[in-house]
């Protein structure tokens, strides 16, 4: 993938692609003109002895400390060195590269004071498969992701370690291989690099993309349960949902109807007229989760295209205006990621309840724990324990980070968002949900096999959607006939899920 930057309409898909591929980026002619215009304007301001935060003053609570011209370059280097105090654990290479790109893209729009030379130097590193080691901890989600971003900027000084062509090497070694030397910063550059929400935003983008994939596959699994349990489809009638027309509810009901098309197994005669909530109310419950994901997508994509460092420079002819503000404050992201966390926890609990219905013979009318010769064989009893543990962990992780503000910098930065903490928690909750759903997909395929072998149900009686689940799972995992080591089975299905192998994953409609 080759991409010119700066781009102004980035999507979550763009950022995931940049992070996951061997992308190459090029600073456009417009980017060169915009960045040069801004750095020229800063030079003029300094000649006029204008006082500009972070250019010729200290930072944080030291903003009133004015510095002479001969100390300005040292100030920028000190800003990076003092802020680069993070450590392992580090973000994945995909998130680190996505954040790296976002830093360059935003700074190339000409509001931040990062020079063309510095941007091109960093782009050279990016294009040579240099990936910064970005700490997961330390950002307060205000004044930007200071510590994490400082570790990206640290590469310019030849300090710390980086990953190059898949191997961790000292940054000095990387510079030598690329013919680079220790970078000398112009006024404002270092502050520009460490101020911003790019790491939190990159993390959030991957989580939103994964959540959309999860929900789409979960709805497909639910449709298969309609068939396995012979559930009533009247709950999916469009007329019902038009009377409560939430976008997500309408979409989930429509998807379920589409997945069930051609099935000969739904609405089989049974004692109860109504199905349990996790089947009957799927459009209302999963639909609400879809709407929350849709809202989070809107927030994240707004942040992807935003300028979030400080101060910012606005140029009109010969006039330049330096404005100190707070675009680095990630309160929207914090709230949104806490919201998606709560929604995903609900989804994990819904899937767990569906798993219980599959494993409990009194509810499923299938073999106990979906294995013949139960008693001699435990079947899928214990994977349910794993699910229960993951659901409990999710519930603990769902406690909102966005209410955990702590005052720092001598009370100068007195209300912070904790957006990165919210994003990291959401990412872990998503991963737990993916493992939970992977187990359910295993069970769906196993239940179908039992119906085919014990009840003589033809595979053709199932919908094409259910057959897709069965085909995908059985492509790598054999039917469970007696107890065996199951960790690998779960991991194989998890890989299919993360690769989107259970069918097309429709994009969540944006809210209007």
Three-state SS string over 312-351 comes to: EEEEECCEEEEECCCCCCCHHHHHHHHHHHHHHHHHHHHH
Q: At what angle are helices 198-229 and 331-359 packed, to 10 degrees?
A: 20
What is the C-alpha separation between 161 and 412, in angstroms, rounded?
Answer: 32
| Residues paired with 164 in a beta bridge | 130, 167
Classified as helix, coil or strand, 55 is coil
Of the candidates 399, 8, 15, 468, the one whose C-alpha atom is nearest the C-alpha of residue 205 is 15
Distance between CA 329 and CA 339 in Å, rounded?
18
Alpha carbon distance 307, 326 (integer Å)? 10
Q: What is the DSSP string of 3-46?
A: EEE--SS--HHHHHHHHHTT-EEEE-HHHHHHHHHHHHHHHHHH
Radius of gyration (Cα) for the chain, nearest Å?
26
Q: Do 247 and 291 contact (CB within 8 A), yes or no?
A: yes
d(CA 7, CA 10): 6
Residues 417 and 140 sit within 8 Å (Cβ to Cβ) = yes
**Closest listed residue to residue 358, CA positions, set 461, 445, 464:** 445
- Separation CA 283–CA 285 (nearest Å): 6
Instruction: Please give the Cα distance from 192 to 442 (Å, whole number).
Output: 49
**C-alpha dihedral, 285 to 288 to 290 to 292, nearest 10°:** -140
- Gap between the Cα atoms of 461 and 465, Å rounded: 11
Active site residues: 53
The vertex-375 CA angle with 370 and 381, nearest 5°, equals 45
Alpha-carbon distances of 64 from 51, 55, 60, 328, 396, rounded to whole Å: 10, 12, 9, 20, 42
Choose among 40, 163, 177, 39: nearest CA to 100. 163
DSSP, collapsed to helix, strand or coil, labels residue 111 as coil
CA dist 287 → 244, 299, 335, 346 (Å): 11, 19, 20, 12
Helices (H), 56-197: 72-83, 93-107, 116-127, 146-153, 171-177, 189-194
């Amino acid at each position: 993938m080759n991409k010119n930057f700066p781009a102004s309409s980035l999507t979550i898909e763009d950022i995931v692609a940049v992070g996951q591929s061997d992308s190459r980026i090029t600073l456009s002619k417009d980017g060169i003109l915009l960045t040069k215009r801004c750095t020229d304007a800063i030079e003029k301001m300094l000649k006029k002895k204008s006082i500009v935060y972070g250019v010729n003053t200290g930072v944080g609570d030291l903003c009133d400390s004015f510095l002479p011209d001969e100390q300005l370059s040292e100030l920028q280097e000190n800003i990076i060195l003092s802020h680069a105090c993070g450590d392992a654990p580090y973000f994945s290479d995909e998130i680190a590269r996505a954040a790296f790109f976002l830093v360059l893209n935003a700074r190339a729009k000409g509001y931040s004071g990062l020079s063309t030379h510095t941007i091109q130097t960093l782009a050279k590193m990016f294009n040579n498969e240099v990936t910064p080691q970005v700490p997961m901890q330390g950002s307060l989600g205000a004044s930007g992701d200071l510590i994490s971003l400082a570790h990206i900027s640290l590469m310019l000084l030849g300090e710390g370690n980086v990953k190059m062509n898949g191997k961790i090497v000292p940054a000095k070694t990387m510079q030598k291989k690329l013919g680079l030397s220790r970078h000398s910063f112009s006024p404002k550059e270092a502050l520009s690099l460490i101020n911003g929400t790019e790491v939190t935003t990159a993390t959030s983008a991957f989580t939103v993309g994964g959540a959309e994939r999860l929900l789409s596959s979960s709805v497909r699994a639910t449709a298969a349960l309609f068939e396995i349990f012979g559930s009533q489809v009247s709950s999916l009638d469009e007329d019902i949902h038009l009377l409560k027309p939430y976008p997500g509810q309408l979409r989930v009901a429509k998807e379920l109807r589409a997945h069930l098309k051609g099935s000969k197994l739904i609405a089989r005669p049974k004692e109860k007229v109504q199905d349990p909530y996790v089947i009957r109310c799927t459009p209302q419950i999963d639909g609400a989760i879809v709407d929350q994901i849709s809202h989070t997508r809107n927030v994240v994509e707004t942040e992807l295209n935003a300028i979030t460092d400080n101060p910012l420079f606005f140029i009109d002819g010969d006039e330049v205006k330096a404005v100190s503000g707070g675009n680095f404050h990630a309160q929207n992201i914090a709230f949104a990621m806490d919201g998606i966390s709560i929604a995903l926890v609900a989804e994990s609990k819904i899937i767990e309840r569906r798993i219980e219905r599959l494993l409990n013979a009194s509810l499923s009318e299938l073999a106990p724990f979906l294995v013949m010769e139960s008693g001699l064989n435990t079947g899928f009893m214990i994977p349910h324990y794993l699910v229960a543990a993951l659901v409990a962990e999710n519930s603990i992780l769902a406690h909102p980070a966005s209410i955990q503000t702590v005052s720092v910098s001598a009370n100068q930065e007195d209300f912070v968002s904790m957006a990165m903490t919210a994003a990291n928690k959401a990412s872990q909750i998503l991963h737990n949900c993916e493992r939970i759903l992977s187990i359910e997909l295993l069970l769906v395929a196993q239940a179908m096999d039992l119906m085919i072998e014990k009840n003589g149900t033809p595979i053709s009686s199932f919908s094409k959607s259910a057959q897709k689940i069965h085909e995908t799972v059985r492509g790598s995992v054999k039917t469970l006939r007696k107890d065996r080591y199951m960790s690998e089975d779960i991991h194989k299905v998890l890989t299919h899920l993360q690769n989107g192998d259970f069918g097309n994953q429709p994009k969540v409609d944006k809210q209007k």
